[in-house]
Structure 1
């Protein structure tokens, strides 16, 4: 192996170990609404078959509503009714609400949540979160079912999670899923346009898993170069 081949091998190794593939996705709003009582959940669909990834392992929602929708306190930000993946194409909210999503979401242990900012008056935590406010209480949020009660009344509100302004919510799937014929459905309580105002992406890597450290990469590169030099000396 000559020097040029060694350099090419090094950069190939570096790229394979350090790169992360993520793809922003666009949504189509389905006709009608779904949800609990009152029912006012808008459902959006994204066709993942053309995003340039052969499979996905995570989905991330970044709220950027910045006051859109008008709710305050514990109901601030993107109000997520449900998120599911399916191989069935729906064009109406009622069709999507009747789907049984693929069993790849762990809505409790597979979630990474960074709470956003609450609009005054501030509550102790956002609606649908756990006791510490930094995770999902899926007994309240029920993120696998489009069943959100579109109200801020207590009691009354149920079936959704409020992310807060600029909150971030990531889901690591329990297994890699092919994007061929795959559709992502997201429900937004209140039909306030928060999905359209947010940045949502999928990735073929899990979220929160550290990439190989630079020192490790250079160590591996050193081993590769030493191995190729040895091959040159031995003539093998």
Structure 2
């Protein structure tokens, strides 16, 4: 019985992993939209990517990565890329905000911090500005749904060198005739580009599925395994 249960759990985990591995992922090309003047940010440069024509019918997550170049940003808790805001937008215009889609949650892995000034921990509690620990975004501090980043203060998330952030959109957002991705960089320095450092997926990462929501998948997988096991026994008998 224990062997069958273990085999069933292994089968279910493998199935979930297989589903995740079949997610379609693409890297969009960004255009520099200049310094934003619609929000309350000190100086945030906005980048826009057209998500149509990429072969995706829906958007489940957006993953942004720091270049890990060691260039850009400051030292300590401000090392690496400083993200002011990230969201999906239907008309591609920053002057309108009623057609925007914001992430429901985030997955974060802080990168390394450089020696020098602004040593951690940050005012938000984590190793980088806007994080509460090395794997959690302080959403009340970072406010990634608003273009409101202030220099060396609130309204943004610093990645750290090599840091990674995944924005989760659940349920997935349908890609219609028009859909754009916006991301804003605090300070307005055009030296760091997002092209090649962002991946768009049509599914929500398995690790972002809460346990209660994952239970039906697990139960269904175990049930399927049980049916296969029972059929094999009848055939053998």
TM-score scaled to structure 1, two decimals?
0.71
Using the alignment, how far apart are the partners of 2:81 and 2:193 within structure 1? 8
* Structure 1 spans left out of the alignment, 5+ residues: 1-12, 91-95, 231-236
Where do residues 49-68 of structure 1 align in structure 2 (5 Å cutoff)?
Answer: 49-68=52-71
Relative to structure 1, is the Cα distance of residues 196 and 204 closer, same or farther in structure 2, using a 3 angstrom cutoff? Answer: closer
Going by fraction, where is strand more abundant, 1 or 2? Answer: 2
Where do residues 25-40 of structure 1 align in structure 2 (5 Å cutoff)?
Answer: 25-34=28-37, 36=40, 38=42, 40=43
Could you report, residue by residue, the CA deviation over 1:177-229 in whole angstroms, capped at 9, with x for unpaired residues?
1122111100000123334366101101112449x9xxx8xx97xx5xx89xx
CA drift at 1:29: 0.7
Aligned counterpart, 2:49 = 46
For the aligned residue pairs, the C-alpha RMSD in angstroms reads 3.2
* Structure 2 spans left out of the alignment, 5+ residues: 1-14, 122-126, 210-216
Relative to structure 1, is the Cα distance of residues 144 and 100 closer, same or farther in structure 2, using a 3 angstrom cutoff? Answer: farther
Whether the 8 Å CA contact 2:62–2:200 is kept in 1: the answer is yes
Aligned counterpart, 1:234 = none
Q: 1:119 aligns with which of 104, 111, 114?
A: 114
Q: Rg bigger for which structure?
A: 1
1:166 correspondence with 2:170: no
TM-score scaled to structure 2, two decimals?
0.71
Runs of 4+ in 1 over 4 A off after TM superposition: none
Using the alignment, how far apart are the partners of 2:51 and 2:195 within structure 1? 19
Using the alignment, how far apart are the partners of 2:87 and 2:23 within structure 1? 23
